[in-house]
Amino acid sequence: MLKKLSLISLLSAFAVAFGFTSTAPSAFAAGAEMVLFSFGSANGVEPRDPLVFDPAGNLYGTTYQGGANGQGGTVFQLTRGADGTWAETVLYSFCTKPDCRDGYQPSAGLAVDGTGDLYGTALGGVHRDGEVFEISSGTNGAWSETVPHSFDGKNGNEPYGGLIFDAAGNLYGTTTAGGAHKSGTVFEMMLGADGKWTENVLHSFSGKDGRQPMASLVFDSAGNLYGTTLAGGAHNGGTVFQLTPGKDGKWGEKLLLSFDSNGKNPHYPSGVILDAAGNLYGATVYGGAHGGGAVFQLTPDESGKWTEKVLYSFCSASRCADGSGPGGLVFDASGNLFGATGVGGTGDSCGEGCGTVFQLTRGTNGEWTETVLYNFEGGNDAAQPNSLLIFDAAGNLYGTSIEGGTYDGGTVFEISP
């Protein structure tokens, strides 16, 4: 597998907001792709993260580098014009030093509250351990940044994953390092009556129960949290875990699965999503029958035991037609699964392929079939689409790529049925 995929996908593409369930139309035949925006330097570089819509149909996201201040990254908005083209506005450019108070290199997608304020995480901050930031729009249309929380190592370090809200407006996320055992944390941010946010560490990983939780979390209907760790567990291939709130306010952890990093076992998971029946679905970047990663399902029984089933294994050879290194997944209304692979596909300008967008469909026999909806070509086209995809109401898919586009700084793209 390409070394760049190892470094970039495992350290940033998993920093996504999982748990989207689309109500979009389910018919998806082939993929007609359009690059909506190409990034370069001052307007941001390397949009590694999932996008989010506001009610007006504007798209928001982050870039890991670039912006007005150099390499600190940006928060951006894309607005569709009457002629169908999209225009970018940089809402905020982060500082260029890891210890900047306003943050450095936002590492995940954004969460939007009911007033339209944007929340995210950045790797740098006043202690160089990362922070939670908020971007708010003023009456004059200008956007400003505040920092609700800065991590200090003891309460977490390096928040690669995105944030999610609960029904009460509290924020939840993960840090890939720090905490009581220096193996990462799950944290909660609570907004007080005085308008200040307070962090509460819900769980510190020890290594045996997982290490480096890099993906975002997802709630079930009972208020339990689910997530993955990139490494650690019984076989050091990562884990799937559940956190359950107790009556005393403390959260208890249950290890649902430890991945084995040896042989053809799927390993290094990139997050999970839930279906309506309470089953978990996710992808691993490595392993599977052919070595190029796999899509898996976890199903609970009445006793609370979870069973893993591998739904599809990706190829690992150069320019595999079905792609290699899948990232996060998203459902459509019919229960089909969609995602992107960071490499593979038929594009020949990226060494091992420029990546794909794929669909997995369940047959009447319970088996799943993969269809490649689009092969990225690099150059002016997108390359390495490592983020989670999202649907609009019309059933179009949107995502970001870390490379490709007019200036080779990454793109925002649309796939239409």
Sequence spans of domains, the chain: 3-416
Report the C-alpha gap between 62 and 168 in whole angstroms: 25
Of the two residues 257 and 27, the one the predictor is more confident about is: 257
Q: Per-residue pLDDT for 17 more than 70?
A: no
Q: What pLDDT, in 10s, does the model give residues 90-146?
A: 999 999 888 888 999 998 999 999 999 999 999 999 889 999 999 999 888 899 999
| Confidence band for 21, pLDDT divided at 50, 70 and 90 | very low
| Confidence band for 7, pLDDT divided at 50, 70 and 90 | very low
Residue 116: strand pairing partners: none
Report the C-alpha gap between 287 and 291 in whole angstroms: 4
Percent of the chain with pLDDT over 70: 93
For residue 135, the model assigns a pLDDT of 97
Rounded average pLDDT over 411-415: 97
| Confidence band for 43, pLDDT divided at 50, 70 and 90 | very high
For residue 19, the model assigns a pLDDT of 38
Amino acid at residue number 254: K
Cα–Cα distances in angstroms (integers) from residue 10 to residues 2, 43, 75, 395, in the given order = 12, 25, 22, 28
At residue 153, φ and ψ (nearest 5 deg) are 95, -55
Residue 14: closest CA among 388, 304, 398: 388
The answer to pTM > 0.85 is: yes
Percent of the chain with pLDDT over 90: 81
For residue 177, the model assigns a pLDDT of 97
For residue 70, the model assigns a pLDDT of 84
For residue 14, the model assigns a pLDDT of 46
For residue 60, the model assigns a pLDDT of 98
Q: Per-residue pLDDT for 238 more than 50?
A: yes
Residue 326: closest CA among 368, 364, 279: 368
C-alpha 282: how far from chain center: 12
Cα–Cα distances in angstroms (integers) from residue 216 to residues 15, 20, 82, 117, 362, in the given order = 6, 11, 35, 19, 26
Report the C-alpha gap between 146 and 364 in whole angstroms: 51
Q: Per-residue pLDDT for 148 more than 70?
A: yes
Provide the 10 A C-beta neighbour count for residue 141: 7
Provide the 10 A C-beta neighbour count for residue 173: 30
Token pair 């679905």 in the structure block, residue:
281
Rounded average pLDDT over 16-32: 54
| Confidence band for 27, pLDDT divided at 50, 70 and 90 | low
For residue 30, the model assigns a pLDDT of 62
Of the two residues 10 and 394, the one the predictor is more confident about is: 394
**HEC letters along the chain:** CCHHHHHHHHHHHCCCCCCCECCCCCCCCCCEEEEEEECCHHHCECCCCCCEECCCCCEEEEECECCCCCCCCEEEEEEECCCCCEEEEEEEECCCCCCCCCCCCECCCCEECCCCCEEEEECCCCCCCCEEEEEEECCCCCEEEEEEEECCECCEECCCCCCEECCCCCEEEEECECCCCCCCEEEEEEECCCCCEEEEEEEECCECCEECCCCCCEECCCCCEEEEECECCCCEEEEEEEEEECCCCCEEEEEEEEEECCCCCCEEEEEEEECCCCCEEEEEEEECCCCECEEEEEEECCCCCEEEEEEEECCCCCCCCCCEEEEEEEECCCCCEEEEEEECCCCCCCCCCCCEEEEEEECCCCCEEEEEEEECCCCCCEECCCCCCEECCCCCEEEEECEECCCCCCEEEEEEC
Report the C-alpha gap between 63 and 43 in whole angstroms: 9
Q: What pLDDT, in 10s, does the model give residues 343-358?
A: 999 988 888 899 999 9
For residue 5, the model assigns a pLDDT of 46
Residue 417: closest CA among 387, 399, 391: 391
Q: What pLDDT, in 10s, does the model give residues 262-318?
A: 878 999 999 999 999 999 999 999 999 999 999 999 999 999 899 999 999 999 877
Superfamily of domain 3-416 in CATH is: YVTN repeat-like/Quinoprotein amine dehydrogenase (2.130.10.10)
| Confidence band for 9, pLDDT divided at 50, 70 and 90 | very low
Q: Per-residue pLDDT for 24 more than 70?
A: no
Q: Per-residue pLDDT for 20 more than 50?
A: no
Token pair 């899948």 in the structure block, residue:
326
Q: Per-residue pLDDT for 233 more than 70?
A: yes
Q: What pLDDT, in 10s, does the model give residues 151-206?
A: 999 999 999 999 999 999 999 999 999 999 999 999 999 999 998 999 999 999 99
Rounded average pLDDT over 199-226: 97
Q: Per-residue pLDDT for 65 more than 80?
A: yes
Residue 21: strand pairing partners: 331
Q: Per-residue pLDDT for 53 more than 50?
A: yes
Report the C-alpha gap between 18 and 7 in whole angstroms: 21
